[in-house]
Amino acid sequence: MATSADYIFDLGYLQKRMSPHALDELQKGALLSVQEELILDQSLKSTYVPFQLKDQIVEAYISLPYLVQAKGMSKEVASFLSALLNVYVFLLLVAAAIAIGVANSITQPITAIGNKIKALKLGRNEAIEWHSNDEIGELVKSYNESIKKLEESTERLKKSEREGAWREMAKQVAHEIKNPLTPMKLSIQHLMRVAKAAPERVEEMLPRVSKTLVEQIEGLARIATEFSNFAKMPQAKNSHFVMNEVVQSVYHLFTEVPDEKQQIDLEMVDTPYLVFADRENLMRVINNLVKNALQSIPNDQNAHIQMRLYPRSEVMVLEVEDNGTGISDELKEKVFYPNFTTKNSGMGLGLAISKDIIDMAGGRIYFETAVGKGTTFFIELPIISSSPAEE
């Protein structure tokens, strides 16, 4: 009478008449009948139910076919989709791995160049090896050429700085040598004139002229010694020694002869502390600091030098404080430079040599100052032990 799938019946896949077994069951009063049927060699089940209208009269029967293998087919479709999804995910992972590999191959040399630039410094810099003639290769090539030019510029700068330093040193040495030569020349010329004009006065003038010449020659010798010491520092002979003893020795050296215009005090811990440095060089540094402290004080003012030795954390600290004129802000950065001095005489090498000595001992030297109040120099050396030990 009616169907939702005409082609099944038109092609003869199903008969247009209902199953006689189903008709028999339904006529006997069954509410539904399920029958096995075939369509294109595929098993299906058809459910038959009566179609009733008014007065419970059966007007027709309705057949609802159900393909048994439809569930299996849905499972196969789900399995196929799952496999397809797995393949898609795998291909996606492969594509991501390839993309990461390509990105790394591109960014690796750029990262290497970035690291090299961060570590770039005046001096020897390593070139980057890159064998491809691509855009990255051009970048690497430019970087290598730049560091080569930088090294050449650095060498020229070092040479220029060395030449400049030696020129400044030569000017300073020439200036310091010229100062004693002038009175020496004048004294000899004066002695020669007196010898011609009044020979009898030569014997009288000879001791005075000789004294002047000896003093100026000693000045020249001092200049030569300072310049030699700075030009070639002697090899440090480090050993273990008690720093307290060295400081006390320098203190006694400056206080052996009492002077009403200068007062030197020493505050020192009783516990002996061992340090590892060159004993003679350290004594030389302390001597220089005390001497500089005394010379920084104006002639019309009494000198008061305070020396302190004490431990702090893992270092021994020596303070040398004066009540001099202090150091102005514009001169602070030049204190440890060669040729720097605020005195009328000397080559200004004492503090530069002192810094080299303390640096070689693994210590530190620095200062604090206040204009018009004075300056305090600090020496810090690592503590080896808090009690003397036999070497």
Q: Is residue 373 domain-shared with residue 357, that is, in the same domain?
A: yes
111 lies in some domain: no
At 46-98, the pLDDT tens digits run 888 888 877 778 888 888 877 555 455 566 677 888 888 999 999 999 999 99
End of a domain among 169, 202, 231? 231
Q: Residue 390: what pLDDT?
A: 40
At 337-385, the pLDDT tens digits run 765 555 544 445 678 778 888 988 899 999 999 988 999 999 999 998 7
Please state, in angstroms and rounded to a whole number, the distance separating the CA atoms of residues 390 and 224.
39
Q: Is residue 270 domain-shared with residue 223, that is, in the same domain?
A: no
Q: Residue 67: what pLDDT?
A: 57
Tell me whether residue 83 is exposed, middle or buried, using C-beta atoms within 10 angstroms of its C-beta: 0 to 12, 13 to 18, 19 or more: exposed
Show Cβ contacts of residue 391 under 8 Å, excluding neighbours closer than 6 positions.
239, 240
Provide the Cα torsion 333, 334, 338, 339; round to 10°.
180
- Single pTM value for the model: 0.46
170 lies in some domain: no
Q: Is residue 297 domain-shared with residue 360, that is, in the same domain?
A: yes
CB 34 within 8 Å of CB 42: no
Q: What is the average per-residue pLDDT within 228-234?
A: 58
349 lies in some domain: yes
Percent of the chain residues topping a pLDDT of 70: 79
Which amino acid type is present at position 165? A
Q: For residue 284, give the CATH number of its domain.
A: 3.30.565.10
Mean predicted lDDT score pLDDT of the chain? 79
Q: Is residue 217 domain-shared with residue 268, that is, in the same domain?
A: no
Return the structure tokens found at 67: 């393909």
Which range of residues forms the domain containing residue 53?
6-68
Q: Is residue 264 domain-shared with residue 341, that is, in the same domain?
A: yes
* Residue 276 parent element (H or E): strand 274-277
Please state, in angstroms and rounded to a whole number, the distance separating the CA atoms of residues 268 and 255.
16
Q: Is residue 251 domain-shared with residue 365, that is, in the same domain?
A: yes
Please state, in angstroms and rounded to a whole number, the distance separating the CA atoms of residues 335 and 288.
14
End of a domain among 35, 68, 101? 68
Strands 33-39, 42-52: pairing is antiparallel
Q: Is residue 191 domain-shared with residue 266, that is, in the same domain?
A: no
Please state, in angstroms and rounded to a whole number, the distance separating the CA atoms of residues 117 and 125.
10
82 lies in some domain: no
Please state, in angstroms and rounded to a whole number, the distance separating the CA atoms of residues 378 and 260.
26
Percent of the chain residues topping a pLDDT of 90: 19
Helices 202-231 & 135-197 angle (0-180, nearest 10):
170
Q: Is residue 227 domain-shared with residue 243, that is, in the same domain?
A: no
Cβ neighbours around 254 below 10 Å, total:
19
Please state, in angstroms and rounded to a whole number, the distance separating the CA atoms of residues 377 and 305.
11
CB 377 within 8 Å of CB 335: no
222 lies in some domain: yes
262 lies in some domain: yes
216 lies in some domain: yes
Please state, in angstroms and rounded to a whole number, the distance separating the CA atoms of residues 273 and 310.
9
85 lies in some domain: no
DSSP 93-149: HHHHHHHHHHHHHHHHHHHHHHHHHHT--SS--PPPP----SHHHHHHHHHHHHHHH
Q: Is residue 223 domain-shared with residue 255, that is, in the same domain?
A: no
Q: Is residue 246 domain-shared with residue 368, that is, in the same domain?
A: yes
| Length in residues, the chain | 391
Q: Is residue 326 domain-shared with residue 195, that is, in the same domain?
A: no
* Residue 175 parent element (H or E): helix 135-197
**In the chain, how many domains are there?**
3
Please state, in angstroms and rounded to a whole number, the distance separating the CA atoms of residues 362 and 249.
22
Please state, in angstroms and rounded to a whole number, the distance separating the CA atoms of residues 119 and 124.
11
Considering only residues 264 and 171, tell me which one the structure prediction assigns the higher pLDDT: 264
End of a domain among 211, 231, 251? 231
